[in-house]
Amino acid sequence: MSSVLPNGSQAAPLMAAPGFWRRALRHRSFVIGGVLTLLLILAGALSYVWTPWSPYEMDIASKLQPPSASHWLGTDVYGRDVVSLLLVGARASILVGVIAVGIGLVVGTALGLLASARRGWVEEGIMRLTDFSLAFPAILSAIMMTAVFGPGIVNAIIAIGIYNIPTFARITRASANAVWAREYVAAARACGKGAFAITMQHVLPNISAVLIVQSTIRFAIAILAEAALSYLGLGTQPPQPSWGRMLAEAQTMMWQAPLLAVFPGVAIGLAVLGLNLLGDGLRDLLDPRLARER
Amino acid sequence: MSLFLFKRILTLVATLIATSVIVFLVLEILPGNAAQMLMGADASPDAVAALATKLGLDQPAWTRYWHWVAGLLTGDLGNSYAYGSPVSELVLERLSLTIPLAVMAMGLTTVLALIVGVTAAARHNKLGDVGLMGLAQVGVAIPNFWFAILLILLFSVKLQWFSAGGFDGWGEGVGAGIKALLLPALSLAVVQAAILARITRSAVLEVMREDFVRTARAKGVSQRAVLWGHVLRNAMIPVVTVMGLQFSELLAGTIVVENVFSLPGLGKLIFQSISNRDLIVVRNCVMLLAAMVVIVNFIVDVLYAAIDPRLKASDL
Amino acid sequence: MSSAQPHVPLLEVQDLVRHYTLPRESLFAPAPKVQALNGVSFSLEAGRSLGIVGESGSGKSTIARLVMALDRPTSGSVRLMGRDLHRLPRDQLQAARRDIQMVFQDPYGSLDPRQTVERIVAEPLAALSQSTRAQQRERAAESLAAVGLRSSDLHKYPHEFSGGQRQRIAIARALITRPSLIVADEPVSALDVSVQAQVLNLMQDLQQQFGISYLLISHDLAVVNHLCDDVCVLHRGLVVERGAPGDLFAHAEHPYTQALLAAVPRAEPPSVRKML
Amino acid sequence: QSDKSSMVLGMTLEPPGLDPTANAAAAIGEVVLYNVLETLTKIHADGKVTPLLAESWEVSPDLKTYTFKLRRGVKFQNGEPFNAQAVKFSFDRAGGEKSTNKDKRTYAKLSTQVADDYTVVLINKEIDPNLPFLLGQPTAVIVEPKSVDTNATQPVGTGPYKLQNWVKGSSLVLTAWDGFRNPSSIKLKRVTFRFISDSAAQASALLAGDVDAFPRFTTRAVPQFQNNPRYQVILGGSRAKTIMSINNRKKPLDDVRVRRAIAAAIDRKAVIAGAADGFGVPIGSHYVPDAAGYVDTTGINPFDPEKAKKLLAEAGVKTPLELTMTLPPPPYARQGGEVIAAMLAKVGIVVKLQNVEWAQWLSGTYGGAHNYDLTIVSHVEPFDLDNYTKPDYYWGYDSKAFRDLYDKIMTTANEAERNKLLGDAQRMIATDSVNAFLYQPQFPTVAKKGVKGLWTAMPIFCNDLSSMSW
Amino acid sequence: MPLLEVDDLHVALRTPRGPAEAVRGIGFTLERGETLGIVGESGCGKSITVQSLMGLLPSSAKVSGSIRFDGRELVGLPEREMCKIRGDRIGMIFQEPMTALNPVHTIARQVGEPLRLHRGLSAQAARQEALRLLERVGIPDAASRLDAYPHQFSGGQRQRIGIAMALACGPDLLIADEPTTALDVTIQKQVLDLIRDLVAERGMSLILISHDLGVIAQTVSRMLVMYGGSIVESGATGDVFARRAHPYTQGLFAARPALGAPRGLRLATIPGSVPELVDLPAGCPFAGRCAFTIDACHAVRPPAEMVGVDHAVRCIRLDAVEAAQASTHTGAEVVR
Ligand SMILES: Nc1ncnc2c1ncn2[C@@H]1O[C@H](COP(=O)(O)OP(=O)(O)OP(=O)(O)O)[C@@H](O)[C@H]1O
Ligand SMILES: Nc1ncnc2c1ncn2[C@@H]1O[C@H](COP(=O)(O)OP(=O)(O)OP(=O)(O)O)[C@@H](O)[C@H]1O
Ligand SMILES: [Mg+2]
Ligand SMILES: [Mg+2]
């Protein structure tokens, strides 16, 4: 790798560009996505200071109530307030999504970039490693991790994160290889740039669109994976609520209280929708070709 | 071609060796053992000890590893601790469900995704596109067990067209087997199809910008025929890549849906076997999965070459 | 350095051979080879320019890549001011690259769409990492001015420019280190005539102004004729003929050169030709 | 159901094999007991024990010697005759060196003597008044010597049904055996067991008509069937005791006041509602209402959070007291844990819930170092007060008074007297607040309207097919 | 009746920055067997013009005016009808031989496709016909390469395949949109020779787009010079080359480096760049880049003025241009 370090970082020059926010506010899917995502974050933040009821307080006498003035979305099987659970559950879901995708994104992208920068046996090795880890589906590694370290949100997050690594590695490598074949990379090499600098300054920015879109999709999958793990008792542990766990719990009540499954389902759906829209918007906005109007 | 095959086989072997070591080590860490699990809490301790001896659990780890690997090489996978029957039999039984299920789910996924993806791309940025992609967006966000229950509610409980779960093997006839797997396959397919549809759409859009599409249109080929006859096959490379990933995922990642439909699938077997500490089954299943993933990758690569004549098998 | 040192040409290419190995078709058959270059030698004096013409696939771009040390030759050497580029250690090669820059054929593909013009133009400086951001910006502005662009263009992105302007940006990037040699691989073949003229004029001006040498690769004889002191005709990886363009085009000896010349369409309608 | 000769039963767990003498899973008994494999005695829903392969038995006054007269003309399904040798073989094998019988210890104490072909004498080293009951359990099935190695996959018994087909993971089919001694009493010719572990799936299978009857149905989904005219719901007691075990060895749990405080903090009604969806009967000790000698001890440690706080203060415990509760997988434990944690929080005990697998629970909580504070588990063994006599048992209750009392119970032949002593034992455990005794689970059976002969109570887990019909 | 009559053709494209008038009132006629060249700077609307003839414009395009092909109005013709004309009556050759062929279909299939579509030939018959066509365009050993894929051919060969495809149904009109720009000179010569021969042989009409004046000179009998979406000069090739009446035409000629010209000579360039289509000036599109610009140039679009037989020019400063041309006409620009 070259001894030359990149001179200053890419520092998202577009974000800093004066018109960025003005343009962003005119981008429909960015705005809708942004609002939904902001709501998600706000819900999580709000739960730290206020919830209509305590999300841990059980009142078994008033279980499974339909939505009413006192319990806006009704109560669950332990008589807890669904709104409060949803608010607090947002935290766990954000955490799972962000960290699990973060792990996959950072490690997977790094591996993918390394593979395409080094080629040869490094690439071969990394790709075989991803093959190998794909043989362990998320649920399987989660089961194993749980069996060894005990269940819990942290292990669930790590298991999902690990599963994201090969996916990101493959996608990154494929798109990075395409970028490496471009003439502007040859130009950079002709300038004497090292593989590291080229990777950071040319390859990464040019595959960012792919990564952004993939991240938002993976975010959704991570939240749902947490739900599936909770369904198997491997995810978030009680009494900590998470949307996935609420969904999993409501699933056993599908026949008596179908609404209980609808609320967290809708919450997940909205969060995922928001992130996808935000991702699409961000991809457009960060693309200089689409960004500037003359 | 043969070099390519040779490389592939080498890869397979290396992957399997690595898998065997890691799987064995990881499983060694698991607390508890099969004898204890099988005998339960109220069992007499000496009965538990007798069972442990019978199962060979009291031997040192490396001996057990060696027995296992030696067994693998001679094609003897050993007997399940819990069921007492040969692992190979057990696994084959499960595969006779899991593979058809995965194939059906993948087939449904592909058909749904291609129709939705291509249609959306053809109506790029029009109402149809926005609508279909919105639907795909929703599809991605639906938890599949939730969708599975809705399917059961509609088709099994209300309409009583299908049974609500269970699978009695192919002995009852192919039609009955397919019928039993249809709802599970559908509930697996919806989420995957939503993802694949998005990828299909963008791949098709990309290809639609290429010059040869214009050439085809200049020959008088209609818009539709261009889309299905010329564009789609060119757009298949990224689609097939994702399909390969999804198929690998389906092979073992269907535990939840198997649960909802109470299907005896491979995922459930692994899950059960881990909780029963039937480690001999787990080990062999994971090996099988690893082998299958490598094989699926291989199939994907062969498909690449079949789709795109520019990629000869020798270049892979 | 003592003045007694023997004369060293700016660029000296000796017996350059590059064979590409294609993937094996079978396990036992030997891997097929493409002999892209079969022993090409030429040298280029400082301040002069050399054109390389030849049909598609004759190995022109391969020469460019080898001269730029973007690829390793099968055998032979590339000496830049006496230093064999392919034997230099990494850091010295990096330093040597200051003296040699490249302009690519495709003005659309050779500029990173996600970087501002400033970063693109300053890239060679940044790679040498001996200057601050401010210095780089200043040099980039100078360089842009030299190719007739404004410093307000620094903050734009490539897509905001026309093909001719983009090629100017690419040239500005090549100029920024004040190289002694610019390797230009078909710098104008993607441009239409009026823009092509702008770029060729610019290259000519810069040659006069900075004394830059060009290694100009093209399949357009007229372009080479316009800019170069010497021409090599490349055919199947070998130099089949060389000389000053005027002489060469007037008295081509090698049949391939003749064919090449005969194929050039003349911008005169049949009627005019008949008149002559 | 048009076909009156067949029935589909739902089961939550699939048996891992079909040999109850080699494997402890309750699901094995649910399939084979009394159907394929038979025992000398038969336990009925009401807990009564009647002859089955034995025609009658006599007990010596010292309660140590049992003489069984065996039924004649009984054949095993492989054609071998059933006789005293088979009985001796079965019991010797169960108690033998290599035995992997769960109740190995019980059989090791028995010595079996063949008096004649149809008379067996059992001599028990220790007194156990419940022996006839024990001999009706799955582990006591009489096996045919030649078939013992294949019973797990091809059980050979004397019962009315044979294994027809087993699709592992999905379903198992028993068909009536035409060689059965009394074939006309068997109404169902073909019975399918369908294994459905997921609770929502259980409900949908019933609703979709895939399953005709589902014993021990998931409690969560019961309410919707209770007011559905197409279905019948049978609520039966059991011998199971769902308790929150307390690690008596650990500080400060070794202090009886702390244990009492914990007990007083728990509202059993709410626990039953939360953990068992209301299907349970509160118990105050390790004993169930259906069992002989039961006394109501729920008043000994009543729900009283104020008293709980006081007790904690008395014991000098600083609140919040932090404890972990280790929870095995069943829903009653996971849900009950959540509910109890919320209750304990109110008296200043902060409980960290830790979900574990059974294997972990067995090796870490139940066995090994007994590394836990609290755990929830359902003890399904019918007679298991003796666990309180074992100081090394997982809850670590060490009381000489109780051991003496228990010895006396075991040696008392007179039933009324024994019952009185059993009452004392229950009170002693409750007073010592060894564990927090929660409830006796009720096992709901949901079935289509026409299904007859389902057990109402469940002293043991079994599906007695011979009594069932449409 | 002429084969093709284009009258006052306008094409407006929807762009993010508003509608762009890529073609602004073009009109020309083409007789059967006639060859017509279109030259002009990149982006001046050449491709859009011919694409509108083929009905291949993006759906965002709005076409107005009239295109009469063989007496039939093509503007507003339903897509189904247009499909019948495309590839059958009008064939088209594209610029990029590397990308104009579908990489995943065999060449036999691609060349035979129009035949199957328009002539209803069976797959087998289409294959036979494709073989004949490929032999005709000079693919060596065509019979054995029918099932080869495009990437197995060289650029020149691919362009020949493209030509075979365009000719498959024997169209009345062949449109070639920069068919040789991507090829090197020797191959370019082969391809152009081939097109010329085929046109002569079959009596087709030809529209050839190029910005290479040499190519135009050698291939077509009449030519149009386009700039900014309109035709600035049109006439017989010889006349236009001889006269170069429009300043833009002059600029194009001057910018071309000529083989054999003395070294070091600066090429004449046209200052500035092509105007944005979105805000094209009201007047002459070349105004501003033209040395002869006066205020009137900006005011109104110049009308077509006949400067010879069938030689029209849109410029109001023709006199000044001609005067200047006479005085500065030096040898430097003369093509040999
Ligand atoms: N990486 C490679 N692997 C295999 N063969 C190659 C590779 N690069 C170039 N070649 C082959 O080497 C020969 C010379 O290629 P080169 O790119 O130098 O030609 P060129 O003269 O630049 O042609 P063009 O005018 O088309 O750009 C060609 O036959 C080409 O196919
Ligand atoms: N789909 C489109 N949407 C919007 N603008 C377009 C579209 N296609 C072409 N244009 C614009 O229309 C104008 C004319 O384009 P056209 O392709 O006809 O140019 P051309 O003369 O063929 O140029 P070239 O020589 O580069 O092929 C150009 O400015 C171009 O940017
Ligand atoms: Mg080249
Ligand atoms: Mg064009």
Query: Can you tell me the distance from the alpha carbon of C52 to that of C73, in angstroms, rounded to the nearest whole number?
Result: 18
CA of E24 to the centre of ligand 4 (A): 16
Examine residue B75 and state whether it is found in any structural domain, yes or no.
no
| Number of domains chain A is built from | 1
- Does the CB of B310 have a partner CB in chain C at under 8 Å? no
Out of B222, B223, B230, whose CB is closest to E102? B230
What are the chain C neighbours of B3 within 8 Å (beta carbons)? 24, 26-27
- Kindly state if the Cβ of C218 falls inside 6 Å of ligand 1: no
Q: Which atom of ligand 1 is nearest to the CA of C60?
A: 21
What are the chain E neighbours of A294 within 8 Å (beta carbons)? 17
What is the DSSP track for B1-36?
Answer: -HHHHHHHHHHHHHHHHHHHHHHHHHHHHSSS-HHH
For chain C, the chains sharing at least 3 beta-carbon pairs closer than 8 angstroms are: A, B, E
Rounded to whole angstroms, what are the CA distances from E242 to C270, C275, E41, E328?
Answer: 11, 11, 20, 15
CA of E257 to the centre of ligand 2 (A): 25
- The predicted structure's pLDDT at residue C261: 84
Inter-chain CB proximity B19 and A140 less than 8 Å: no
Paired tokens of D12: 């939550």
Q: State the CB neighbour count (10 A cutoff) for residue E157.
A: 22
- The predicted structure's pLDDT at residue E110: 92
Q: Nearest ligand, CA of residue E50?
A: 2
Q: How confident is residue B110, by pLDDT bands cut at 50, 70 and 90?
A: very high
Query: Can you tell me the distance from the alpha carbon of D130 to that of D132, in angstroms, rounded to the nearest whole number?
Result: 6
Query: Where is average pLDDT lowest: A98-102, A158-162, D427-431, D449-453?
Result: A158-162
Rounded to a whole number of angstroms, the distance from the CA of A167 to the nearest CA of chain B is 8
The full set of domains in chain C, from first to last, is 11-262 (3.40.50.300)
What are the chain E neighbours of B310 within 8 Å (beta carbons)? 103, 149, 151
- The predicted structure's pLDDT at residue A125: 82
Q: How confident is residue D261, by pLDDT bands cut at 50, 70 and 90?
A: very high
Counting Cα atoms < 13 Å in the Cβ hemisphere of B70 gives 6
Rounded to a whole number of angstroms, the distance from the CA of D339 to the nearest CA of chain A is 7
Mean of the per-residue pLDDT values for chain A?
A: 79
Query: Where is average pLDDT lowest: B296-305, C195-204, C227-236, E262-271?
Result: E262-271
Examine residue B274 and state whether it is found in any structural domain, yes or no.
yes
Q: How confident is residue E76, by pLDDT bands cut at 50, 70 and 90?
A: confident
Helix residue spans in D112-240 (DSSP H): 131-134, 199-207, 223-226
Paired tokens of E162: 């493209």
Q: Give every CB contact of residue E59 below 8 A, 6+ residues apart in sequence.
A: none
Query: What is the pLDDT averaged over residues D380-395?
Result: 88
Inter-chain CB proximity D353 and A57 less than 8 Å: no
Q: Which of C24, C34, C65, C185 to mutate to test the pocket of ligand 1 (most atoms within 8 A of CB)?
A: C34
- The predicted structure's pLDDT at residue C59: 87
Q: Above 0.90 for ipTM, yes or no? A: no
Query: What is the pLDDT averaged over residues B32-49?
Result: 80
Residue nearest to atom 6 of ligand 2 (CA): E13
Examine residue B68 and state whether it is found in any structural domain, yes or no.
no
Nearest CA in chain B to A224: B143
- The predicted structure's pLDDT at residue B315: 40
Q: Which atom of ligand 1 is nearest to the CA of E155?
A: 26
Q: Which of E51, E39, A210 is nearest to B213 (CA)?
A: E51
Out of D100, D195, D364, whose CB is closest to B47? D100
Examine residue B203 and state whether it is found in any structural domain, yes or no.
yes
Laid out side by side, the sheet with D436-441 consists of D280-282, D436-441, D241-246, D374-379, D321-327, D349-355
Nearest CA in chain D to A60: D270
Q: How confident is residue C31, by pLDDT bands cut at 50, 70 and 90?
A: low
Examine residue A12 and state whether it is found in any structural domain, yes or no.
no
Residue nearest to atom 24 of ligand 1 (CA): C56
Inter-chain CB proximity C114 and A292 less than 8 Å: no
Would you list which residues of chain D are within 8 Å, Cβ to Cβ, of chain A? 199-200, 203-204, 207, 218, 220-221, 223-224, 270, 273-274, 329, 331, 334, 337-339, 341-342, 345, 353-357, 359-360
Interface size C-E, in CB pairs within 8 Å, comes to 138
Mean of the per-residue pLDDT values for chain D?
A: 89
Structural domain range at position A109? 27-48+70-293
pLDDT tens-digit profile of C195-226?
Answer: 788 888 888 888 888 889 999 998 788 888 88
Q: Which of A94, A100, A50 is nearest to A268 (CA)?
A: A94
| Number of domains chain B is built from | 1
pLDDT tens-digit profile of A230-268?
Answer: 766 777 777 788 888 888 788 777 777 888 888 888 888
Query: What is the pLDDT averaged over residues A24-39?
Result: 85
Rounded to a whole number of angstroms, the distance from the CA of D1 to the nearest CA of chain B is 14
- Kindly state if the Cβ of C20 falls inside 6 Å of ligand 1: yes
Asked if residue D260 has pLDDT above 70, the reply is: yes
Examine residue B115 and state whether it is found in any structural domain, yes or no.
yes
Asked if residue B295 has pLDDT above 70, the reply is: yes
Asked if residue B162 has pLDDT above 80, the reply is: yes
Query: Can you tell me the distance from the alpha carbon of B109 to that of B193, in angstroms, rounded to the nearest whole number?
Result: 4
- The predicted structure's pLDDT at residue C30: 63
Q: Nearest ligand, CA of residue E22?
A: 2
Q: How confident is residue E332, by pLDDT bands cut at 50, 70 and 90?
A: very low
Q: Give every CB contact of residue D279 below 8 A, 6+ residues apart in sequence.
A: D219, D222, D235, D272, D441, D442, D443, D444
For helices C117-128 and A183-190, the axis angle rounded to 10 degrees is 40
pLDDT tens-digit profile of D20-70?
Answer: 888 888 889 999 999 999 999 999 888 889 999 999 999 888 888 999 999
- Torsion from C-alpha of B196, B197, B200, B201, nearest 10 degrees: -150
Interface size B-D, in CB pairs within 8 Å, comes to 164
Inter-chain CB proximity A60 and D270 less than 8 Å: yes
Examine residue B160 and state whether it is found in any structural domain, yes or no.
yes
Query: Can you tell me the distance from the alpha carbon of C63 to that of C45, in angstroms, rounded to the nearest whole number?
Result: 17
- Does the CB of B305 have a partner CB in chain E at under 8 Å? no
Query: Can you tell me the distance from the alpha carbon of D79 to that of D91, in angstroms, rounded to the nearest whole number?
Result: 21
Query: Can you tell me the distance from the alpha carbon of E167 to that of E176, in angstroms, rounded to the nearest whole number?
Result: 11
The neighbouring-strand residues paired with C216 are C51, C184
Type of residue at C28: F
- Does the CB of A26 have a partner CB in chain E at under 8 Å? no
Mean of the per-residue pLDDT values for chain E?
A: 85
Inter-chain CB proximity C24 and B6 less than 8 Å: no
For chain D, the chains sharing at least 3 beta-carbon pairs closer than 8 angstroms are: A, B
What is the DSSP track for C138-162?
Answer: HHHHHHHHHTT--GGGGGS-GGGS-
The neighbouring-strand residues paired with C217 are C52, C185
pLDDT tens-digit profile of D153-189?
Answer: 889 999 999 999 888 888 899 999 988 888 888 889 9
Q: How confident is residue C267, by pLDDT bands cut at 50, 70 and 90?
A: low
- The predicted structure's pLDDT at residue E312: 92
Structural domain range at position B281? 87-315
Inter-chain CB proximity C26 and B315 less than 8 Å: no
Query: CATH code at A266?
Result: 1.10.3720.10
- Kindly state if the Cβ of C19 falls inside 6 Å of ligand 1: no
Looking up tokens 């030519």, which residue turns up?
E223
What are the chain E neighbours of A293 within 8 Å (beta carbons)? 16-17
Asked if residue D257 has pLDDT above 50, the reply is: yes
Examine residue A165 and state whether it is found in any structural domain, yes or no.
yes
Query: What is the pLDDT averaged over residues E281-294?
Result: 84
pLDDT tens-digit profile of C85-138?
Answer: 888 888 888 888 888 999 988 877 888 888 889 989 998 888 877 788 888 899
Type of residue at B240: V
- The predicted structure's pLDDT at residue E49: 92
pLDDT tens-digit profile of D309-341?
Answer: 999 999 998 888 999 999 988 889 988 998 999
Long-range contacts (CB closer than 8 Å, 24 or more residues apart) made by E297-302: E301/E230
Examine residue A286 and state whether it is found in any structural domain, yes or no.
yes
- Torsion from C-alpha of A57, A60, A62, A66, nearest 10 degrees: 90
- The predicted structure's pLDDT at residue E291: 84
- The predicted structure's pLDDT at residue E242: 87
Higher pLDDT, D400 or A130: D400
- The predicted structure's pLDDT at residue E334: 36
Examine residue A110 and state whether it is found in any structural domain, yes or no.
yes
Q: Which of A150, A137, A163, A140 is nearest to A236 (CA)?
A: A150
Rounded to a whole number of angstroms, the distance from the CA of C223 to the nearest CA of chain E is 6
Query: Where is average pLDDT lowest: A231-235, B33-37, D267-271?
Result: A231-235
Q: Please give the biggest Cα pair distance in chain B.
A: 84
Query: Can you tell me the distance from the alpha carbon of E106 to that of B211, in angstroms, rounded to the nearest whole number?
Result: 17
Inter-chain CB proximity A292 and C157 less than 8 Å: yes
Interface size B-E, in CB pairs within 8 Å, comes to 72
Q: Which atom of ligand 1 is nearest to the CA of C185?
A: 22
Q: How confident is residue B52, by pLDDT bands cut at 50, 70 and 90?
A: confident
Regarding chains C and D, contact by 3 or more CB pairs under 8 A is answered as: no
Inter-chain CB proximity C226 and E214 less than 8 Å: no
What is the DSSP track for B155-210?
Answer: IIIIS--S-SS----GGG-HHHHHHHHHHHHHHHHHHHHHHHHHHHHHHHHHHHTS
- Does the CB of A144 have a partner CB in chain D at under 8 Å? no
Q: Which of E24, E277, E278, E279 to mutate to test the pocket of ligand 2 (most atoms within 8 A of CB)?
A: E277
Out of E100, E117, E151, whose CB is closest to B212? E100
Examine residue A14 and state whether it is found in any structural domain, yes or no.
no
CA E107 to chain centre: 25
CA of E199 to the centre of ligand 2 (A): 27
Q: How confident is residue D219, by pLDDT bands cut at 50, 70 and 90?
A: confident
Query: Can you tell me the distance from the alpha carbon of D373 to that of D390, in angstroms, rounded to the nearest whole number?
Result: 18
> Which percentage of chain E shows pLDDT scores above 90?
27
- The predicted structure's pLDDT at residue D306: 93
- Does the CB of B233 have a partner CB in chain E at under 8 Å? yes
Q: Which of B240, B257, B207, B214 is nearest to B306 (CA)?
A: B240
Q: Are E266 and E251 in contact (CB under 8 A)?
A: no
Asked if residue E16 has pLDDT above 70, the reply is: no
What are the chain A neighbours of B195 within 8 Å (beta carbons)? 217
Out of C219, C260, C266, whose CB is closest to E214? C266
Residue nearest to atom 5 of ligand 2 (CA): E13
- Does the CB of A233 have a partner CB in chain B at under 8 Å? no
Higher pLDDT, D3 or E305: E305
Looking up tokens 């000398």, which residue turns up?
D40
DSSP strand pairing (D54-59 vs D280-282): unpaired
CA of C141 to the centre of ligand 1 (A): 36
- Does the CB of C260 have a partner CB in chain E at under 8 Å? yes
E strand spans, chain E: 4-15, 18-30, 35-40, 62-69, 72-73, 90-93, 173-177, 205-209, 222-227, 230-236, 305-308, 311-313
Query: CATH code at B246?
Result: 1.10.3720.10
Q: How confident is residue A9, by pLDDT bands cut at 50, 70 and 90?
A: very low
